[in-house]
Amino acid sequence: MTARAAPAWWGNAGFLTSFVFLLAVWQLSGLVMNKIFISTPAAVVGAFVEILADGTLVSRFIDSALEMGVGVAIASVIGIGLGVLMGRSARVERAFEPILNFANATPTIALLPLMEIWFGLGSSARIAFIVIICVWTVLINTLTGIKNVRVGHRDVARAFGLNGIEATRKVYVPSAMPFILAGLRIALAQAAVGMILSGQEIGEFGLGGLTEEYATFYQTEHLIAAIIASTGLAMLAFAGLRLYQSRRQPWIAATAAGRR
């Protein structure tokens, strides 16, 4: 009774205070620093409104979101598919494990020029790079999830006579879903990096291309506006995944609360 928890608005108020303080410091820095370095909040807002109004931001945002979406979708199909196969079949796992280790150890960014050579200087090369930067995370998490399916769930599949495919589909994959979704969450962040980087390097495309253009001409306020838009895109993707998880897997929060 005595130690009352701080009301929810207090946390928000604290955040708001520090945020406003930060903005104020940033704005004042414009008085003493060259605006090329970090610009000022007012200028960034101006730039943001400008590129929003002339349609640049919207079209670049959609371009990037589409390529990132396609890339993540392909990576999910390959990563989840292969991860499930490897998790359920020792033979498949033995066949792919060395390749997986090798590929996962390769610094993915080094593969960007290779994607250009393979797929040309267009959309397919950028999407291929997004796939290759995030597919390993999806795969490894799926594999880990399948291998860590609760013994009790495995027992149910066997005791009630499910065959291998039924057990995979009806027990193993749903049981591994928290792992798979955790992997997808990291993969989305990696895909966002891939989206920006491939946009910068291959054909100055989408939001990545936009940052490259603005940086070339030292338009720092526009650059920061484009960066904020990129962050927004990634956060939108996270929010979508979280929404999916809370809709489809409400038991995760419920059972976590029940466990002590």
Partner 1 sequence: MLQAVGISKSYRSGTSEVQALKDVDLDIYAGEFLSLVGPSGCGKTTLLRIIDGLTPASGGSVVFDGMTQQGVSREMAFVFQDINLLPWRSVVENVEIGLEARGLGAVERRQRALETLRLVGLESVADRPPYTLSGGMQQRVGVARALAIQPKVLLMDEPFVHLDNFTRETLQIELSKLWQRLKLTIVFVTHDVDEAIFLSDRIALFRSAPGRIAEIATVDLPHPRWDYNVRADPRAIELREHIIDALQVRQSLLV
Residues that bind partner 1 (CB under 8 A): 150, 152-153, 155-156, 158-163, 166, 170-171, 174-175, 177, 248-251, 254-255, 258
User: Measured between alpha carbons, how far is residue 76 from residues 94, 137, 247 in Å?
Assistant: 21, 10, 19
Contact by Cβ (8 Å): 144, 180? no
Closer of 107 and 258 to partner 1 (Cβ): 258
Nearest distance, CB of residue 252 and partner 1, angstroms:
8
Query: DSSP state, 204?
Result: S
Long-range contacts of 8-16 (CB under 8 A, 24+ apart): none
d(CA 59, CA 45): 19
Nearest Cα to Cα of residue 133 among 178, 103, 113? 103
The secondary structure of the chain in percent helix, strand, coil, rounded to multiples of 5, reads: 85, 0, 15
* 62 CB-side CA count, 13 A: 5
Strand runs labelled E in the chain: none
Amino acid, single-letter form, for residue 221: E
Which 8-state DSSP code applies to residue 33? S
Q: Residue 15 corresponds to which amino acid?
A: F
Nearer CB in complex with partner 1: 35/170: 170
Nearer CB in complex with partner 1: 173/202: 173
Q: Could you give the C-alpha distances from 31 to 19, 26, 38, 39, in angstroms and in order?
A: 20, 10, 12, 10
DSSP designation for 161: T
